[in-house]
């Protein structure tokens, strides 16, 4: 196994340094994104005592704007021609603004009126999520298509991307409760901890920028090719495999997002102590991390489709049974391990699945649309995260959850249990149904061979 990537060929196998550098980019994204997905609503409701229903409405409105910015950013990436690459150029521009915007999320003015506080939440949430995260996440994911055209290497990259997300998530969820509690548990404690996460994320992005290179793009000194937006959209929206893959990303990420967002509420409102959160959440993350690597062994043998079927099916059944059985910390840990196995299998191939479908679209209509194609994936990811947060806020608000109460009502417990178990079970079941109709794995080797021949000819 080589340490450095010395070749500029498109079909190159990457060295370990470049693989780890690309992975570190997602670690950096996860430091702040985990706060947004899993802890921001809890911070607003249980530390600042803002209304979950109003917050849900704010997040829903923000996600509509977020969807527009994702597609716009995808179009921008496809039209970016820089000596620093397409996606990498935007990492250079946006890594510092992203870190700053994550810190601003926590600086809600404590002595202001509720109206001012909600306006501040709306502005900073959109700045961080719809602007800064979009401008770094879409280009970062587009880089995975352009680092190499090697199918095996893309599979490894897909796994490492998920490993990066899990590592970042694991670090945050392992430390956030203990760190904020040690610092007093108030708003200032949260601000200090999130600032540390943001700075760590910035370091990860700098490592990613320095040690990666995009190879599958036109040289900057060559004439810039014309990019036909109609052909780009045709390459995607006439591509049933891409639509299936985006659907899988949406439902898969919706399930894990609401699972993560409801975790603190489940620990506090159902099990009785927020300290329990790290116990079952870390078991899921560590198990997922292990089985991301186990999945690499099985992908060449049984294909991406079957790996996702196994993974999502396991999460769906685990969540369903956990919801039906009496709650306890031991059972939560056992089911978290099962969900981690499923998430490891499915997560190992989600990104590679989308990259394959983008190549299929290029083969079908003659136009590569990695920027828009990947932006739709990040759009689905963030819409899933946003809608899951909205739904979570509305469910616990409807159930009568009270952040200041020591013991929750029966209806509040039912609401939290539904968000933590039944909704993830349903969403993962939807992924299983979609994958039953996906058969690109069988056709892809011949398509990839023909596509590489076309590229060499052109």
Nearest CA to 364 out of 229, 217, 234 is that of 234
Residue 374: is its pLDDT beyond 80? no
Mean pLDDT, residues 353-376: 76
Mean pLDDT, residues 271-284: 90
Show the tokens assigned to 4.
Answer: 């450095």
- Is 164 within 8 Å of 23 (Cβ atoms)? yes
Banded model confidence at residue 322, pLDDT cuts 50, 70, 90? very high
Look over the chain and give the mean of its residue pLDDT values, rounded to a whole number.
87
Give domain status of residue 456, yes or no: no
CA 55 to CA 42: how far, in whole Å?
11
Under DSSP, the state recorded for 409 is -
Residue in this structure with the two tokens 């498109």, named with its chain if needed? 10
Give domain status of residue 4, yes or no: no
- Confidence (pLDDT) at 75: 81
Give domain status of residue 350, yes or no: yes
Give domain status of residue 7, yes or no: no
For residue 425, give its domain range: 16-214+227-450
Give domain status of residue 381, yes or no: yes
- Confidence (pLDDT) at 280: 94
- Confidence (pLDDT) at 226: 54
Q: How many CB atoms lie within 10 A of CB 224?
A: 9
Alpha helices per DSSP H over 15-51: 16-34, 40-42
Mean pLDDT, residues 64-75: 80
End-to-end CA separation in angstroms for the chain: 32
Give domain status of residue 338, yes or no: yes
CA 283 to CA 287: how far, in whole Å?
6
Tens digits of per-residue pLDDT, 121-173?
999 999 998 899 999 988 998 888 788 877 778 778 878 888 898 899 989 98
- Confidence (pLDDT) at 237: 75
Mean pLDDT, residues 290-317: 90
Give domain status of residue 293, yes or no: yes
- Confidence (pLDDT) at 194: 96
Torsion angles phi and psi, residue 349, rounded to 5: -125, -5
- Confidence (pLDDT) at 303: 86
Residue 258: is its pLDDT beyond 90? yes
Mean pLDDT, residues 305-331: 95
- Confidence (pLDDT) at 235: 65
- Confidence (pLDDT) at 69: 85
Banded model confidence at residue 1, pLDDT cuts 50, 70, 90? low
Give domain status of residue 349, yes or no: yes
% of residues, the chain, pLDDT over 90: 47
Show the tokens assigned to 338.
Answer: 């099962």
Residue 91: is its pLDDT beyond 50? yes
Tens digits of per-residue pLDDT, 375-434?
777 778 778 877 888 899 889 989 998 877 878 899 999 999 999 999 999 999 999 999
Show the tokens assigned to 43.
Answer: 């911070």
Show the tokens assigned to 68.
Answer: 């527009």
What predicted TM-score, i.e. pTM, was given to this entire model?
A: 0.72
Banded model confidence at residue 345, pLDDT cuts 50, 70, 90? very high
CA 382 to CA 385: how far, in whole Å?
5
Per-residue CA distances from 366 to 214, 232, 234, 369 (Å): 21, 9, 10, 10
Tens digits of per-residue pLDDT, 22-55?
999 999 999 999 998 888 988 998 899 998 888 8
Residue 225: is its pLDDT beyond 70? no
Of 11-15, 192-196, 265-269, 398-402, give the lowest mean pLDDT range: 11-15
- Confidence (pLDDT) at 360: 82
Query: What is the count of structural domains for the chain?
Result: 1
Tens digits of per-residue pLDDT, 445-454?
888 788 777 7
Give me the CATH number covering residue 345: 1.20.1250.20
Torsion angles phi and psi, residue 110, rounded to 5: -70, -35
- Quote the longest CA-to-CA distance of the chain: 69
- Confidence (pLDDT) at 329: 94
| DSSP secondary structure string for all residues of 346-391 | HHTTHHHHHHHHHHHHHHHHS---HHHHHHHHHHHHHHHHHHHHHH
- Confidence (pLDDT) at 221: 47
CA 216 to CA 355: how far, in whole Å?
13
Tens digits of per-residue pLDDT, 100-118?
999 999 999 988 999 999 9
């Amino acid at each position: 196994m080589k340490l450095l990537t010395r070749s500029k060929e498109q079909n190159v196998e990457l060295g370990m340094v470049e693989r780890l550098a690309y992975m570190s980019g997602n670690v950096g994204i996860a430091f702040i994104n985990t706060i947004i997905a899993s802890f921001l609503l809890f911070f607003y409701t249980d530390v600042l005592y803002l209304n979950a229903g109003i917050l849900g409405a704010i997040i829903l409105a923000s996600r509509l704007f977020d969807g527009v910015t994702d597609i716009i950013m995808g179009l921008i990436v496809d039209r970016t021609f820089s000596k620093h690459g397409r996606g990498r150029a935007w990492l250079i521009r946006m890594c510092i603004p992203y870190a700053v915007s994550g810190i601003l999320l926590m600086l809600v003015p404590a002595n202001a009126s509720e109206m001012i506080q909600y306006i501040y939440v709306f502005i900073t949430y959109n700045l961080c999520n719809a602007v800064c995260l979009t401008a770094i996440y879409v280009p970062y994911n587009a880089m995975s298509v352009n680092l190499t055209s090697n199918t095996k290497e893309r599979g490894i990259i897909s796994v490492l991307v998920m490993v990066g997300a899990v590592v970042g998530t694991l670090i945050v969820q392992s430390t956030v409760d203990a760190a904020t509690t040690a610092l007093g548990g108030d708003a200032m404690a949260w601000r200090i901890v999130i600032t540390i996460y943001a700075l760590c994320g910035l370091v990860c992005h700098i490592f990613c920028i320095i040690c990666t290179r995009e190879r599958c793009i036109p040289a900057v000194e060559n004439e810039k090719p014309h990019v036909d937006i109609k052909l780009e959209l045709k390459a995607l929206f006439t591509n049933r495999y891409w639509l299936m893959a985006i659907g899988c990303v949406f439902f898969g990420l919706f399930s894990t997002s609401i699972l993560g967002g409801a975790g603190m509420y489940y620990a506090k409102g159902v099990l009785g102590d927020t300290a329990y959160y790290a116990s079952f959440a870390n078991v899921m993350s560590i198990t997922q991390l292990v089985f991301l690597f186990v999945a690499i062994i099985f992908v060449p043998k049984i294909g991406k489709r079957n790996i996702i079927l196994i993974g999502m099916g396991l999460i769906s059944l685990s969540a369903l049974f956990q919801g039906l059985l009496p709650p306890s910390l031991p059972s939560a840990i056992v089911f978290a391990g099962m969900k981690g196995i499923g998430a490891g299998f499915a997560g190992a191939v989600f990104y590679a699945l989308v990259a394959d479908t983008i190549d299929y679209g290029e083969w079908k209509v003659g136009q590569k649309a990695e920027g828009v194609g990947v932006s739709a994936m990040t759009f689905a990811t963030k819409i899933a995260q946003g809608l899951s947060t909205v739904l979570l806020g509305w469910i616990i608000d409807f159930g009568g959850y009270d952040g200041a109460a020591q013991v929750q009502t029966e209806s509040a417990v039912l609401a939290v249990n539904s968000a933590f178990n039944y909704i993830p079970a349903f969403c993962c079941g939807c992924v299983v149904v979609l994958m039953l109709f996906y058969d690109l794995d069988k056709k892809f080797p011949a398509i990839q061979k023909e596509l590489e021949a076309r590229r060499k000819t052109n």
